[in-house]
Amino acid sequence: MHCIRKITEDLLWVGADDRRLAMFEGVYSVPRGVSYNSYLLLDEKTVLMDTVDRAVEKTFLENVAYGLGGRNLDYVIVHHMEPDHSATLIRLLEKYPEATVICNDKTKKMIEQFFGKTPNALIVKEGEKLSFGKHEFTFYMAPMVHWPEVMISFDSENGVLFSADAFGTFGALNGALFSDEVDFFGEHLAEARRYYTNIVGKYGPQVQAALKKLAPLPIKMIAPLHGFVFREADAISAFIAKYDAWSTYTPERTEVMIAYASIYGNTENAANILACRLRERGIAVDMFDVSVTPASEIVAAAFRASHLVFAAPTYNNGVFVTMEQLLHELAAHNLQKRTVALIENGSWAPSAAKWMREILASCKELNILENDLTVKSALGASDADAFDAFAEALVATVPEKA
Ligand code: FEO
């Protein structure tokens, strides 16, 4: 039986949840699942906005058939060709062979690459408008949000922005389609941040370019390809403000994120002592063992915090492997504009700080504090002065609460 939600009188959600997927894109854990959103417009013409992942094909096709209510499908808009949204496109076109694919040039080439088939396509360009009856859509290219072919569209009739991957959130919908049906900013923002920073975080300038295109539009609703639909003005502007911060690499809050790796607990102890010292000074702290917490969560936390402390043992005359991986992830995601402090441990030739500094050298506008803290095996009473100097130098960079 179908499982759909009505968005407006003539717009339906016909997507599906996937709670069996272990790793999104093969790399990001999704313990609360993920939704693949697809939308069906029932105007003089029938228009489907994107398809879904293969995992939910059966539900999706049933939803589309029910939504159409016996009508034919005239168009399917492919905003994004990545297979989590397009894997069922060919199956859909087999079922509705008269449907025309609306896409851009790049998308058409990718359809041919992925499926070895040339669709019956109507190619749209930047700013082009198409009318389906009452509803007129305008198309805007949004390259690298998240692939080069991505486009978004705006329905001027009811102010709906079909935003492709932008404004998506990890997590199954569990029946709640709209962000106002849940405590989005309390309970789901962290998964929206983890989704954004890991999927699109590298492409801040391209996201800024897309936000500038959207700024003049009278948006009343945002309908992304994953997660909740936004229909409240306050929520829409608050979420856009988050995207503005994330894509300009602006910290969301004054906070020290401490990420540490520890083999026998001594580096962890140094990190814990620092956390206590910072808390005593009224400074917010977020803390992760990089060997335990998935990198995607730490990347997201790093995009939130103003200050980052990395603490790691020296290992194979380099930096401990899980910390090395995390730092490469952060550099790959273009993280910038942070204050950074480094703690290294080493029993005979400590050099982890040097290697951490080297990996972070490719990040722009990092203020890496000059004096690293070096732990020789374990902190002892003789290290008190060095620890104090390290901690106070870090505290001195944290703005006082207003
Ligand atoms: Fe949800 Fe870039 O695909």
Residue 72 Cα to ligand 1 midpoint, Å, equals: 27
Atom of ligand 1 nearest to the CA of 150: 2
Q: Is the CB of 146 under 6 A from ligand 1?
A: yes
Residues 137-182: pLDDT tens digits? 999 999 999 999 999 999 999 999 999 999 999 999 999 999 999 9
Residues 270-279: pLDDT tens digits? 999 999 999 9
User: Using 50, 70 and 90 to split pLDDT, how confident is the model at 316?
Assistant: very high
The percent of residues above 90 in pLDDT, for the chain, comes to 99
Residue 81 Cα to ligand 1 midpoint, Å, equals: 8
Residue 166 Cα to ligand 1 midpoint, Å, equals: 9
Q: Is the CB of 165 under 6 A from ligand 1?
A: yes
Segment 380-387 mean pLDDT: 97
Q: Is the CB of 110 under 6 A from ligand 1?
A: no
Helices and strands of the chain, counted as H and E runs: 12, 23
User: According to the model, what pLDDT value does residue 401 have?
Assistant: 73
User: According to the model, what pLDDT value does residue 402 have?
Assistant: 62
Atom of ligand 1 nearest to the CA of 25: 3
Average pLDDT of the chain to the nearest whole number: 97
List, in order of start, the domains of the chain with CATH numbers: 5-247 (3.60.15.10), 254-395 (3.40.50.360)
Q: Is the CB of 50 under 6 A from ligand 1?
A: no
Residues 333-376: pLDDT tens digits? 999 999 999 999 999 999 999 999 999 999 999 999 999 999 99
Segment 219-241 mean pLDDT: 98
Residue 139 Cα to ligand 1 midpoint, Å, equals: 18
Closest-CA residue, ligand 1 atom 3, reads 82
Segment 293-321 mean pLDDT: 97
Atom of ligand 1 nearest to the CA of 147: 2
Q: Which amino acid is at 164?
A: A
Residue 395 Cα to ligand 1 midpoint, Å, equals: 40
- Answer for the pair 344, 373: CB distance below 8 angstroms, yes or no: yes
Atom of ligand 1 nearest to the CA of 168: 1
CA distances from 96 to 15, 74, 315 (A): 17, 8, 58
User: According to the model, what pLDDT value does residue 390 have?
Assistant: 98
pLDDT of 400 over the 90 cut:
no
User: Using 50, 70 and 90 to split pLDDT, how confident is the model at 59?
Assistant: very high
Half-sphere exposure of 8 (CA within 13 A, CB side): 20
Residue 167 Cα to ligand 1 midpoint, Å, equals: 11
- Answer for the pair 344, 317: CB distance below 8 angstroms, yes or no: no
- Answer for the pair 167, 222: CB distance below 8 angstroms, yes or no: yes
Atom of ligand 1 nearest to the CA of 146: 2
- Answer for the pair 312, 261: CB distance below 8 angstroms, yes or no: yes
Q: Is the CB of 79 under 6 A from ligand 1?
A: no
Task: Enumerate residues 6+ apart whose C-beta is below 8 A from 118.
Answer: 108, 111, 112
Residue 378 Cα to ligand 1 midpoint, Å, equals: 45
Token pair recorded at residue 199: 């999927």
Q: What pTM was computed for the model?
A: 0.96
Q: Is the CB of 226 under 6 A from ligand 1?
A: yes
Segment 261-273 mean pLDDT: 98
pLDDT of 185 over the 90 cut:
yes
